[in-house]
Amino acid sequence: MRAAVRTAPEHVGVVRFTAAAGAKEGWIDCDVVDLSSGGLGLMTTFFVPRRCVLLVRVYGTDAAAPPIADAPCRVQRVCMTDRRPAYLLGTSFEAMTAEAAEQINDLLTLLSQED
């Protein structure tokens, strides 16, 4: 699934995605490669340090539609996967609101029905 990430306000002084890196208003595109009730696996072409908190927006199949989930995540693991470069980020959900938790649960339910 397509997604976009942005540095959470508390870490903007440490990590910032700029227009020179392809960011649009601080957001960079990435792919969700794993999803669970505990967090997300993201594939990105940008390095993000461990423990950084990101705001993540997950999009459905329609790129013009609003995000189907919007949640804060903390990067727990970073692994360079190839020389593009590409990085696999293992994240955990961080201080989720009730609305964000409901969005993630709805997304998990939707994906479990597609089997």
Domain residues for the domain of 56 are: 2-113
With 0-12 / 13-18 / 19 or more C-beta atoms within 10 angstroms meaning exposed / middle / buried, residue 50 is: exposed
For residue 43, what is the domain's CATH number?
2.40.10.220
Averaged confidence pLDDT in the chain: 85
pTM: 0.82
Distance CA 66, CA 109 (A): 19
pLDDT tens digit string along 60-79? Answer: 777 677 888 888 999 999 99
The count of structural domains within the chain is 1
pLDDT tens digit string along 77-90? Answer: 999 988 888 999 99
What does the pLDDT profile of the chain (115 residues) look like in tens digits? 899 999 888 877 778 777 777 777 778 889 999 888 889 999 998 888 999 999 999 987 776 778 888 889 999 999 998 888 899 999 999 988 888 888 888 888 877 876 5
Distance CA 27, CA 7 (A): 8
